[in-house]
A and B are shown apart, each in its own frame.
Chain A
Amino acid sequence: DTAVSQTPKYLVTQMGNDKSIKCEQNLGHDTMYWYKQDSKKFLKIMFSYNNKELIINETVPNRFSPKSPDKAHLNLHINSLELGDSAVYFCASRPTSGGNTGELFFGEGSRLTVL
């Protein structure tokens, strides 16, 4: 059983297109995240949701819009894709009760390539 699952795993698309990446967790966690890992492997937080509410929104272009239909899902929609959006996007979840000591559980990543 995959705890945090992302789809698609690979996505190749043209500049200017709109695409979505979906994430689901079956761990019963309250908090979910999107991280972006660039070509230098640097991981940077983009968004965090707690019980469907946005709690962290880093400096991310407004072309990126997260949506959380319920606390088990956090999807990422990207409009007007640019070359610089090429990266691996990781979804993660964590139980809120863990406070700042709680472990993050990561999905396997979605590799987005914009041509």
Chain B
Amino acid sequence: AQSVTQLDSHVSVSEGTPVLLRCNYSSSYSPSLFWYVQHPNKGLQLLLKYTSAATLVKGINGFEAEFKKSETSFHLTKPSAHMSDAAEYFCVVSTSYGKLTFGQGTILTVHP
């Protein structure tokens, strides 16, 4: 069985300050892990993915995430938040046959 826990349902930051969205996972397999972003009334867009290559993964829009097996974590970070980053973010784990399990989502609010 696999599961994903996003530790914060809401994160609020000021523009220009760092962003940290936390994700812990459990999986019976060597997992593939993803972060998706959903802007209001839009579909989900892939930010980045970890697929057993480099543990530090860089994605679009300046986001990156680090896979830490010992901590079963895959936290999403960005050095400097932008107003356009305000959205909901989903951490996702994939099984070997492609079934994705989504976390509960973290709403990121960015204040001017």
On A, residues with C-beta under 8 Å from B are: 4, 31, 40-45, 48, 55-56, 90, 92, 94, 96, 98-104, 106-109
Contacts and interface: CB of A to CB of B under 8 A. Distances in A.
A104 B100 contact: yes
Contacts of B46: 103-104
A100 B43 contact: no
Contacts, number: 57
A39 to B, nearest CB: 12
A90 B98 contact: no
Contact of B98 (A44, A102, A107): A102
B43 A40 contact: no
Interface residues of B, number: 23
A104 B99 CA distance: 10
Contacts of A31: 98
A60 B102 CA distance: 17
Nearest to B42: A108
B51 interface: yes
3 tightest A-B contacts by CB? A106-B43, A101-B51, A43-B102
Contacts of A45: 99-100
A114 B71 CA distance: 43
B44 A42 contact: no
B84 to A, nearest CB: 18
B95 interface: yes
Contact of B105 (A42, A44, A102, A108): A42
A60 B93 CA distance: 21
Contacts of B41: 108-109
Given A31-B98, A43-B102, A101 B32 contact: yes
Given A40-B104, A42-B104, A104 B96 contact: no
A9 B96 CA distance: 32
A109 B36 CA distance: 15
Given A40-B104, A106-B36, 7 more contacts: A42-B102, A90-B44, A96-B98, A104-B36, A104-B44, A107-B43, A109-B43
